[in-house]
Structure 1
Amino acid sequence: MEIRVNQIVLNGHTFQYRESGDVSAPPLVVLHALGKSAESWDQVAAALGENYRVLALDQRGHGGSARTNTYTFELMCDDLLHFADALNLGRFSLIGHSMGGTVSYLFSQTFPSRIDRLIVEDTPPPFSDEPIEVPSQPSGPLPFDWQVVPSIIQQLNVPDPEWWARLTDIMMPTLVIGGGSSHIPQNKLQEVSELIPNCELVTIEDAGHFVHEDNLSAFLAAVTRFLSKGQAHS
């Protein structure tokens, strides 16, 4: 399946995204983890591109997108809104992993009428826990802006309690996929699934945090089953 790499200016910043599938197919936006890029979704996009228009966005500071020096989950949520509006995506389905998953919760709480179905891979919204130390910057070039790391860790360490309080505002069908043996507490994913009114939790045991990389077939099976539920078959 061909993957097309495009650039677009959103709110004064250049963003890069990868697109696969037919332009007239139902749109599906995918958001990557901290330090990753849209390319990390290529295998998923190749499979889902058979039935969906898959749009994988390089979030700010990552991949081919702008290094903006300012990074928050809220700004990434705004970026997604500008992206969806620029591409005339009235409603779309959304998959987010890790950092991209938190952006996806936030977007779905704030703009619930825009999302058909929500899928979050192995992350709850940030919650108060042992503070995370900012690691020292590695030497050598990075495929992302290092400034993202201390910015996002700051929000993980001092999370907005509203993000949990507003999980009940996520009204669209939602699938949370846990990796089982992950550094993410799986009981937190269970809590999320109980707070979101129409939510299913699927655990892919021993997949770890990067479920779609470590057990692609099980990830795709869960996602395709969930996305095809309730669709009118011609």
Structure 2
Amino acid sequence: MQLNFRKAGEGKPLVILHGLFGSADNWMGIAKDLSQHYTLYLVDQRNHGDSPHSDEWNYAAMADDLKELLDAESLDTVCLMGHSMGGKTAMNFALKYPERVDKLVVADIAPRYYPVHHQTILEGLNSLNFDKISSRKEADDQLAKYIPELGIRQFLLKSLTRVDGKFAWKINLPVITEKIENVGEALPGKGRFEGPTLFMGGENSKYIQEKDREDMERFFPGHHLIYIKKAGHWLHAEQPEAVVETLKAFLR
């Protein structure tokens, strides 16, 4: 699948993958700084952003999508970073194609299985009737019945677009709803990535825990784990300067 991506800057290639319900635009806030040092590839994963939709939606397919992108751009090796779902894609890619990854950064996700915990968000997204909704405020008001947090709603509404004069989701909501369990899958049992790996957790997040160190060591023996202070799961939005400085220090 030919993924949509944004390219900026110059220097060594750095590919960044967003999380569930996100898009390449999520990383534009820190792109300006990073693009002074790297050629950035901000990628829309399948069924997200402006990339194509598909009924096939799992980490094996998303890893192969990334390989196709690197091949098309004639990128032999890259530094690779992924957040949450994107971090799982990045880990799967590094295990399957270790020769294509120079350094790996995984933001606030571990190799283990995560139970489904997005039911309320999916209920809210599926509740929007675009035959009746004519403004973003109406969409936000409807979402607020399910999702009280304004910041989360604003993030989700970034995937709202217009098609033939009517609102629509950029994300492939039916497939994501049907196959949401795939997002929480653990890494496959085999494979190792021996290269430098940074797990970057949010200090206030519970996504990376002490019990995850065994899996990190098994799959990524060259890993380091750090926590970004005063940050939760959306560490790049909550503490962008700290994330950028930590990332640059590791990649150097």
Q: What is the deviation of 1:115? A: 0.3
Task: Give a deviation string over 1:141-190, Cα, whole Å, max 9, x none.
Answer: 33311134335522246x35xx26346x1111000000121241422543
Aligned equivalents of 1:151, 1:114: Cα separation in 2: 32
Deviations along 1:111-164, one digit per CA (max 9) or x if unpaired, are: 00110000000001241x65547442241433311134335522246x35xx26
**% same residue:** 31
| AA matched with 2:224 | E
RMSD: 2.0
Match of 1:4 in 2: none
**Quick check: 193-202 or 112-121, which moved more?**
193-202
Taking the TM superposition and a 5 Å limit, the aligned residue runs for 1:60-139 are: 60-127=46-113, 130=115, 132=117, 134=119, 135-136=122-123, 137-139=126-128
After the TM superposition, which of the residue ranges 174-183 and 145-154 deviates more from structure 2? 145-154
For 2:174, the equivalent position in structure 1 comes to 147
Contact 1:124–1:188 under 8 Å retained in 2? no
Contact 1:178 1:189 in 2 (8 A): no
Change (3 A) 1:183 1:67: same
TM-score, L = length of structure 1: 0.81
Counterpart of 1:5 in structure 2 is: none
In structure 2, relative to structure 1, the CA distance for the partners of 1:130 and 1:20 (3 Å cut) is closer
For residues 180-210 of structure 1, the C-alpha deviation after alignment (integer angstroms, 9 at most, x for no partner) is 2124142254344433211110111331101
Could you say which structure has the greater relative contact order, defined with CA pairs below 8 angstroms and 6 or more residues apart?
2
Equivalent of 2:251 in 223, 227, 231: 227
Q: CA deviation at 1:46?
A: 1.3
Contact 2:82–2:89, Cα closer than 8 Å, also in 1 = yes
Check conservation: 2:82, 2:107, Cα contact below 8 A.
yes
2:45 counterpart residue number? 59
Q: Which runs of 4 or more aligned residues in structure 1 lie more than 6 Å from their structure 2 counterparts after TM superposition?
A: none
Between the two proteins, the alignment pairs up a number of residues equal to 209
Match of 1:175 in 2: 198
Specify the SS of the correspondent of 2:173.
coil
Query: Aligned to 2:19, which of 16, 19, 33?
Result: 33
Q: Say whether the 8 Å CA contact 2:19–2:83 is kept in structure 1.
A: yes
| Paired residue type of 1:82 | E
Correspondence for 2:28 among 38, 42, 63: 42
Cα distance per residue 1:30-74 (max 9 Å; x no partner): 100011000111122211111110001111111111112321111
Name which one, 1 or 2, has greater alpha-carbon Rg: 2
TM-score, normalising length from structure 2? 0.76
Give the unaligned 5+ runs of structure 1: 1-9, 229-234
